[in-house]
């Protein structure tokens, strides 16, 4: 399977938002090792530049809340084969009655507007060329109600709707839009969740979370022909079917 994925990814220009750490950084390393040219976007410029050195990629500082910056990112990247809308926030975690409205709104700006901005900037070129893949990083929270996660659940539900609408609008032009729901991943976000002590996810043991490299491997699979089967929906790693398709170990029994 590794050689097959290498063929799917080699030579492609892949833009990754939120690339400075966590899922974004791990995905950049996985895809660059397979021969992709990764275009790395995030607000954290120092970490981004270091990752660019490691991957041979291009670092472009970008705040996804600002459409002009996202458009400039796409323009600089050139003909983008794949966009990974990965930038996302969950902190601060708080029950609705205790939440800070400004912080809540900032999560909306990153998690929803950031994805919309990526779609808006990438789709015209992809539609014109008649090809392209967009993968929106989703979550089981898109279809769940989790205490303290009102901002995250609401924004991930919105991202799933954006995935569905974008697929409906762009599929006929040869553009594939899909979501990826990886489950819990061993990143700094999980440390924030654990520190909150709110809802059962915060109580999970660290070894219950999958490594972020597994998400990168799954993205490599979805960039290939397998992605055809998941247009307009979320691919999940919370099932053995998903794990098998991605070439990952089965769920613990």
In terms of Cβ atoms closer than 10 Å to its own Cβ (0-12, 13-18, 19+), residue 108 is middle
Catalytic machinery residues: 152
Q: What is the DSSP letter of 210?
A: B
Rounded (5°) CA angle 207-244-153 = 60
> Which pairs with CB-CB distance under 8 Å and at least 24 residues apart come from 240-244?
242/218
Contact call for residues 231 and 176 (beta carbons, < 8 A): yes
Q: Give me the residues paired with residue 15 across strands.
A: 39, 83
Residue 198, token pair as written in the block: 């709110």
- Cα–Cα distance, 180 to 151 (Å, whole number): 19
In terms of Cβ atoms closer than 10 Å to its own Cβ (0-12, 13-18, 19+), residue 106 is middle
Residue 23, token pair as written in the block: 């899922």
The Cα-based distances of 250 to 13, 110, 243, 245 in angstroms read 31, 32, 6, 11
């Amino acid at each position: 399977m590794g050689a097959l994925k290498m063929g799917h990814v080699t030579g492609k220009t892949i833009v990754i938002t939120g690339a400075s750490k966590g899922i974004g950084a791990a995905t950049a390393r996985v895809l660059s090792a397979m021969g992709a040219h990764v275009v790395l976007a995030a607000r954290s410029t120092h970490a981004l530049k270091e990752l660019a050195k490691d991957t041979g990629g291009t670092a472009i500082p970008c705040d996804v809340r600002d459409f002009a910056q996202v458009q400039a990112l796409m323009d600089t990247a050139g003909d983008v084969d794949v966009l990974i809308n990965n930038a996302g926030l969950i902190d601060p975690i708080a029950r609705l009655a205790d939440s800070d409205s400004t912080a809540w709104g900032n999560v909306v700006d990153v998690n929803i507007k950031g994805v919309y901005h990526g779609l808006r900037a990438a789709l015209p070129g992809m539609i014109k060329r008649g090809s392209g893949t967009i993968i929106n990083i989703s979550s089981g929270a898109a279809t769940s109600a989790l205490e303290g996660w009102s901002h995250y659940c609401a924004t991930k539900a919105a991202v799933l709707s954006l995935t569905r609408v974008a697929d409906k609008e762009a599929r006929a032009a040869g553009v594939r839009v899909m979501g990826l729901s990886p489950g819990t991943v061993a990143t700094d976000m999980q440390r924030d969740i654990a520190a909150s002590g709110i809802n059962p996810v915060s109580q999970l043991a660290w070894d219950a979370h999958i490594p972020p490299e597994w998400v990168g491997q799954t993205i490599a699979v979805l960039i290939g022909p397998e992605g055809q089967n998941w247009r307009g929906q979320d691919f999940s790693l919370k099932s053995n079917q998903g794990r098998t398709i991605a070439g990952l170990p089965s769920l613990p029994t």
